[in-house]
Chain A
Amino acid sequence: MGGPARIVIEHPSDQTSGAWAACQRAETLLQALEARFSRYRSDSLISQINRLAGTGEWTCIDEETRALLQFCERLWEQSQGLFDPTAGILRQVWDFSQGRHGDITKLPNLCAKVGWSKVLQSDQGIALSHAGMELDLGGVVKEYGADKAAQSFREAGFNHALIELAGDIVAVGSKTSGAPWLVGISNPSAPSETLVSLELNNSAVATSGDYQRYIEIDGQRYSHFLNPHTGWPVNEAASVSIISDSCLTAGAVATVACLHSGEDATTWLNDAGLPWLSIGQTGECTGPLAPAHPANDIDRN
């Protein structure tokens, strides 16, 4: 999934082998999701769908994929089209690894191929109506994987576990002592430094965005989130963390917050009604989860 993963399971000493088996099962689950949804694998379901773009041929999809796409559609509606799984092709113009932009003249052509409304769904499956269109579920698959792994632990009878997939964390229950799991949100410019500590009990936290990754255009900082309507990156860079009962919902709200800029992002976050934290370009924290104390008395580890 492209990031470090850590799993903690608290279990009775006689269930060690069961816990190992559960971890392996979780790993298998995540690998299966990657095999299905990775853009980098030519044999994945996503690549299959993308290859048939504009041909008029349907790709059959299973119920789980269909449900995941339904979720994406709801999020697309709720975010007024800001969240759009077809916006991935815009990356052909913006080279974030180099921190600069490519050929802007290609944008209008690419924008014509972006838009969830151009995705066709029927009993026969899914089809992309224009050639060159691409579906990219990278924005939801990792969070969904974390939730799925958590559920597999519950089904196996392990109700005290913590799953961390890079910035997406799911707490299954609390610790066996009854105390909540403690999770730290670190400073993106100094990852060893924790800005906020969260206590989780049967909930999830997802972090979207990283104000360290940005593009500079004419002296202005832009994040690596691309606005599907304009084709341009968002004129703001922040790291947003959300707590919800599912990592999928938390990640969705955080991602859309990063697709807004300025006041709109704050409005979106407050309307969502979930606990949120935003870390801005100079490391300043805002939101209900922001610590009350100033950042200068943080312990270092």
Chain B
Amino acid sequence: MAVIERGVKNAHSASTIKQSPLVRTLGAAVAALPAYQNTYADAPPEFTEVGLRYSHYSEDSLSEDKFIAGARGRYDIDVTQLWIEAPIGSNWSIAVDVQNDSMSGASPWFVGTQVDGQPGVIMSGASIYDNRVEVGATTRYFWADGNAGFNVTHSKEDDYEALAMAFDVAWNSADNARTWSASASTSNDRVEPVNGNIPVFIDQEDIDTASIYFGVSQILSSTAIVRIGLGYTFSEGYLSDPYKLFDARPDEHSRTALSGGYRKFFPEAQGALQIDYRYYSDDWGTDSHTAEVAWHQSFDRFALTPYLRYYSQREADFFSVIADLEQDFYADDFRLSSYGAITVGLRSTVQIGDWQMEGQLERYESDNDWGLYDGEAAPALVNFWRATIGISWRFD
């Protein structure tokens, strides 16, 4: 057969083949045949991906009845994520991520007592404006049975700088039905609070964190998979919040998280059930349960995933609604109080040729009464909206 270099110039590869409804239907039948499974060898992606996401996060203003002084409007954050991920040769890939967080708003300074005896929040006097930039790079190596990655991430904002490194590895069993994964990371952070509308009492302090994680995932059937994982994190250094008037935390923090997940596909419905759970416990007295359930519904060229998250945490040992300055450690930070929180959200993705678009909207509300644990209600509990849009492009 004569082979001459003319005609169509763009190589036709599996990743660029479009998915018409016909091809999708046939493809599902094709997938049931022996010849069409992904090879057991782990391999880098066949395409380069470039993507951009924009998210807007907006906290509800503090309600009147919990407000004592300061500015009532809480945080608004605009987050932009930009990334590129590409294969290098047949065994490597590289990814570069850049993230910019633009923050403005007031935050709780301390909790006091209102005229009627109820606790109330004294907020920072005016809105802060801060910008955080984070740049990270990950190189990944693939071999027949697994892959390993190394990541370095640096972030900088007005009052905080962090440098983190992480290593992770995944290994597939011989029949590919089980995957073991492990990762380890360290982070060196420096806080140098800005003396602005909130007075601060430290110059510069360091925080060091180390973390490890082990996990395993298992194929249960042709439509179901399950995973479990255990992680441990240890931090030491200045762990208090420098922008809170009454906040003195231990200089060590030890945390454990046990997590699990389950995915089940329903072919007739073209949908997947997603369940995730995490149990957390640390040496500051906090325990928590997190449960998430989602349903991923596929349509011709797009998918919708409604989801629900329930979270409940127990207050830290040294937390009290109004800080108890008699103790060695004390904090009135709502994030250390007992409460329950619910997130309701919807995620959608659309695939058009090599482009994918995503959109997501969620609402988070927290309340002391919704929790599983006892504890006094912190007045500064937060509620927020979050919306995200994104677009990504894959090419050879």
Contacts and interface: CB of A to CB of B under 8 A. Distances in A.
A244 B18 CA distance: 9
B32 A198 contact: no
A174 B20 contact: no
**Which bracket fits the contact residues of B?**
35 or more
Interface in A174-209: 174, 180, 182-184, 186, 192-194, 196-203, 205
Given A273-B19, A291-B6, A186 B33 contact: no
Contacts of B23: 244, 249, 272-274
Nearest to A194: B2
Contacts of B269: none
B4 A197 contact: yes
A210 to B, nearest CB: 15
> Range of interface residues on chain A?
35 or more
Contact of B13 (A71, A201, A289, A299): A201
A119 B101 CA distance: 62
A252 B19 contact: no
A192 B4 CA distance: 12
Contacts of B40: 155
A71 B12 contact: no
B174 interface: no
B27 A249 contact: yes
B4 A194 contact: yes
- Which of B3, B10, B30, B37: most chain A CB closer than 10 A? B30
A81 B26 CA distance: 15
Contacts of A249: 23, 26-27, 30
Interface in B1-55: 1-15, 17-20, 22-23, 25-30, 32-37, 39-41, 46
B278 to A, nearest CB: 37
A199 B8 contact: yes
Given A71-B33, A198-B12, A201-B11, A78 B2 contact: no
Interface of A, helix, strand, loop or mixed by DSSP: mixed
Contact of B29 (A71, A182, A184, A198): A71
Given A157-B41, A159-B90, A271-B20, A151 B35 contact: yes
A199 to B, nearest CB: 4
Given A200-B12, A245-B17, A182 B3 contact: yes
A52 interface: no
B33 A67 contact: yes
B26 A252 contact: yes
Nearest to A147: B35
A203 B32 contact: no
A77 B14 CA distance: 25
Contact of A196 (B8, B27, B33): B8
Nearest to A64: B34
Interface string A36-62: 000000000000000000000000000
Given A151-B34, A194-B4, A201-B13, 19 more contacts: A71-B30, A74-B28, A151-B39, A174-B11, A183-B1, A184-B2, A197-B5, A199-B11, A199-B12, A201-B12, A202-B13, A203-B13, A246-B30, A271-B22, A273-B20, A273-B22, A274-B20, A274-B23, A289-B7
20 contacts: A73-B29, A74-B25, A147-B35, A151-B36, A155-B39, A157-B41, A174-B11, A180-B11, A183-B1, A184-B3, A194-B3, A196-B8, A200-B11, A202-B13, A244-B17, A245-B14, A289-B8, A291-B6, A291-B7, A300-B2
